[in-house]
């Protein structure tokens, strides 16, 4: 999982039947802890490799491709930090 703008991007592991994925869809979001901070995320949306790629370093993108991950889940911050 990596942040990208006002969202977090997660590789979709284990396909459509993964319990974590189905739970996030059913709830309409989730709370994740990233680098010691909790984030409330909403609006789950499946995105493709090209859209997700900027969130991940090259070595991770290569690993995802090698294991066949080509879909990602984008979740938006429920309360994005306002820009000044």
* Continuous segment of H or E residues that includes residue 19: helix 19-27
Percent of the chain scoring above 90 in pLDDT: 77
Q: How confident is the model at residue 68 (pLDDT cuts 50, 70, 90)?
A: confident
Alpha helices in the chain (DSSP H): 19-27, 49-52, 58-66
Residue 61 has pLDDT above 70, yes or no: yes
Going by the DSSP 8-state scheme, the letter that residue 53 receives in this structure is G
pTM: 0.85
Boundaries of every domain in the chain? 2-77
């Amino acid at each position: 999982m990596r942040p990208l703008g006002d969202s977090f991007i997660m590789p979709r592991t284990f396909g459509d039947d993964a319990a974590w994925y189905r739970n996030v869809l059913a709830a309409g979001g989730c709370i994740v802890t990233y680098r010691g901070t909790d984030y409330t995320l909403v609006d789950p949306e499946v995105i493709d490799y090209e859209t997700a790629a900027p969130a991940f370093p090259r070595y991770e993108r290569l690993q995802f491709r090698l294991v066949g991950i080509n879909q990602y889940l984008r979740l938006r911050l429920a309360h994005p930090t306002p820009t000044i």
